[in-house]
Amino acid sequence: MINEIKADAEERMGKTIESLSHAFAKIRTGRAHPSLLDSVRVSYYGSESPLSQVANISAEDARTLAIRVWERSMVPEVEKAILKSDLGLNPSTAGEVIRVPLPALTEETRKGYTKQARHEAEQARIAIRNIRRDAIADLKELEKEKEIGEDDERRGADEVQKITDRFIAEVEKALATKEKDLMAI
């Protein structure tokens, strides 16, 4: 019983870290990276599809993304989708290749992105603490129903706290890495 609760908490906390890394991928640094366009969805024959499913995205150089659309007729749709996204990018088309130059980050935008990264990290911390709260509540419920003893409940709560501390440390490490990337010129 206790091991199941710990395993469930650990799995859910792992998903929170995964979610945080996806959120961090959407916050752009000064470098071009194909994951910046992960959130862009293109209207492909009537259904919304991720850009990566209709084109090949690569970093041409440090400040430019190159998008090679598989079907020439989709080029205007892809351009429109990039313009509509909230990324603030202006694509330019040269035949079948769409180039997306990334403007240099100003000090102000860097600070804004850092603030956004801190907010995402805080949301992850809150989610992890909520998972801990749920796991400890489950342990207390088991003790209340006399399925486990008081000592087992305390031991389980301590182990859940250690798991929580480990995942909070992962959040801190990810945030420090992202902040370093954002502030690098």
* Number of domains comprising the chain: 2
What does the mean pLDDT of the chain come to?
A: 87
40: phi then psi, degrees, rounded to nearest 5: -75, 130
The pLDDT tens digits of the residues spanning 38-75 come to 778 888 887 888 888 888 888 888 788 888 888 888 88
CB-facing half-sphere around the CA of 47: CA atoms within 13 A: 4
Cβ neighbors of 43 (< 8 A, separation 6 or more) are 49, 77, 81
N- to C-terminal Cα distance for the chain?
51
**Do 179 and 110 sit in the same domain of this protein?**
yes
- Which pTM was predicted? 0.71
State which of 101, 132, 156 marks the end of a domain.
101
Higher pLDDT, 184 or 48: 48
Q: How many degrees, rounded to 5, is the angle at CA 178 between CA 50 and CA 111?
A: 100
Burial environment of residue 120 by CB neighbours within 10 A (0 to 12, 13 to 18, 19 or more): buried
**pLDDT score for 75:** 85
Residues 128 and 155 in one domain: yes
Q: Where a domain ends, among 70, 101, 132?
A: 101
pLDDT of residue 121: 95
Residue-range definition of the domain harbouring residue 92: 34-101
Pairing of β 41-44 and β 47-50: antiparallel
CATH number, domain of 42, equals 3.30.1360.40
